[in-house]
Chains A and B, each alone.
Chain A
């Protein structure tokens, strides 16, 4: 939850995966995750196949395994939840190492772990090989409302500025001898949040006026009109196609 806001997600590079247009990669990742999610959980053998496919993409993109694995730590809370499932689920029980576990709970835990991990892996690879701004423009190409894309890009552009403002406030608090210990410090911290809101909102008003004075009317000009060629599309869609090839026998068998 709180640990999600770590920077350095993008790994600059010039691999074939990096060079693909963002919207083809978005479609590919979404299709891949859809295929994974729709695979029946009893087809245990299909999941290592998917993992191999992702590993192949990571190798082509020259993303180091350590980087990808460290970024995948965001799913830890759900691993904890998944590990609880065999103990709380109902239904038939089985004995594993002398502990009574629910069969459906074990399947459920496996289901969440396998699909969640593959989904996180695919997203991590996407973020590592694509610039954040390109991702947003890719979303716009995929018909996400332009206003939403603008809001998201404003958030991206000013996210670091606002976070720095918060960091400066923390330094100011601590240089005056404040140490947050226990709920008694909440009033001070909440006042910090309140001040941050006022500064953020006023910054928003200044940004708006500055943009209006430069001729902004509510829409952003689209400068990069790079559409994808057929070769790029087929390269991007190779991943979900391969996943589908793994998935089909899983459905029929």
Chain B
């Protein structure tokens, strides 16, 4: 559902617009890297930097695919049907940067050509539906791939969870925006619960379809699935009735130089587990200071926090009755938002550092980081 004009107030629209512009600019750079080398030949070329001339056709066609796949109707029951939103699918199939670009371009064209979603709300739409969905799906997907044993069924299962989580995450992010810059005074807690509930249902459908689609692609062309490139088996040749490895054009030392990323992802997974599941069983009594304050009556004087009516007030999701579930949900959302913001800042800072060096140096570093030697 696309946000129209006048739904959020001007400062919020402006802030989301700036966020969206930054995310798209970042994705334009990242997408070049993602699409620079063909997965089969490993060829890189181009005068305007590696992969510049591959980006436009491939990302454009991928956007056309997302556009078309949204037209595919999936019957639910009694004449109703739904369709894919495609954010998670894009993240898994073509990678996060290209995914953000594809969904953003689809949203842009829908706004200026189909009047679907307001022009002033374009930033909000891109932030909610392109950035949050794709980034959450990518993070969940990569984390699960890293934790679970490698295999084709792992890819499918991770795709399901990633798509399932990404849809309510986007809805809750929108609710958060509405809490900050909404033009109507509605009970945010109840809205969050309703939005979350409905979108978990939508997310289940999205997850099933995404998993089935990714499974279908992985079964035929695993090399095309960005999220499952490690799974591509080396080419075999049949020589004199014997299978031998084809001369490797891309010797892929898959996960060797990524130790920092492994640490980072493990940390994220640990905090998600702690926030989501451990807080489920954690003590219901408040933390030490609050306990003391309550015992001694200090907190009588304490004023309610400014966001006490917010959707995540008191580390619980408003409107969710089960206290433990509520706390767990709030924890997961908190970690997710924190990680997303932190990663954004980190990426910006790191990019500054990279551009400071010479361009050739930067290209070499990127090649090394991608674990892909020049062919």
What range describes how many residues of A lie at the interface? 35 or more
Contact A159 B110 (CB under 8 A): no
Does A55 count as interface, using CB distance less than 8 angstroms? no
Contact A116 B118 (CB under 8 A): yes
How many angstroms between the C-alpha atoms of A89 and B116 in the bound complex? 25
Q: How far, in Å, is B231 (CB) from chain A's closest CB?
A: 15
How many angstroms between the C-alpha atoms of A145 and B28 in the bound complex? 9
Contact B186 A74 (CB under 8 A): no
Contacts A108-B183, A127-B114 hold; do A191 and B68 have CB atoms under 8 A apart? no
Interface size on B, residues (CB 8 A): 80
Q: How far, in Å, is A2 (CB) from chain B's closest CB?
A: 5
Contact A124 B115 (CB under 8 A): yes
Does B258 count as interface, using CB distance less than 8 angstroms? no
Contact A1 B1 (CB under 8 A): yes
Contact A151 B120 (CB under 8 A): no
Residues of B155-197 whose CB lies within 8 A of A: 183-187, 190-191
Contact A151 B115 (CB under 8 A): no
Cβ–Cβ < 8 Å partners of A198 in chain B: 217, 220-221, 224
How many A-B contacts at CB < 8 Å in the complex? Answer: 286
Q: How far, in Å, is A75 (CB) from chain B's closest CB?
A: 6
Interface centre among B46, B56, B111 (most CB of A within 10 A): B56
Which residue of A has the minimal Cβ distance to B225? A197
Cβ–Cβ < 8 Å partners of A203 in chain B: 61
Does A162 count as interface, using CB distance less than 8 angstroms? yes
Does A189 count as interface, using CB distance less than 8 angstroms? yes
Pick out which of these stretches binds chain A: B134-142, B206-214, B234-242, B244-252: B206-214
Pick out which of these stretches binds chain A: B71-79, B297-305, B322-330: B71-79
Cβ–Cβ < 8 Å partners of B52 in chain A: 147, 217-218
Which residue of A has the minimal Cβ distance to B77? A182
Which residue of B has the minimal Cβ distance to A78? B4
Contact A192 B72 (CB under 8 A): yes
Does B101 count as interface, using CB distance less than 8 angstroms? yes
Interface centre among B5, B72, B93, B215 (most CB of A within 10 A): B5
Write the residues of chain B forming the contact surface with A, with a CB cutoff of 8 angstroms.
Answer: 1-2, 4-7, 10, 13, 24-25, 28, 38, 45-49, 52-65, 67-77, 83-84, 89, 93, 101-102, 105-106, 108-116, 118-120, 183-187, 190-191, 208-209, 212-217, 220-221, 224
- 23 sampled A-B residue pairs with Cβ under 8 A: A4-B110, A9-B114, A71-B115, A127-B114, A132-B113, A135-B112, A135-B113, A145-B28, A150-B60, A151-B102, A152-B108, A155-B109, A166-B68, A185-B74, A186-B208, A190-B212, A193-B84, A194-B212, A198-B220, A201-B58, A203-B61, A204-B57, A218-B53
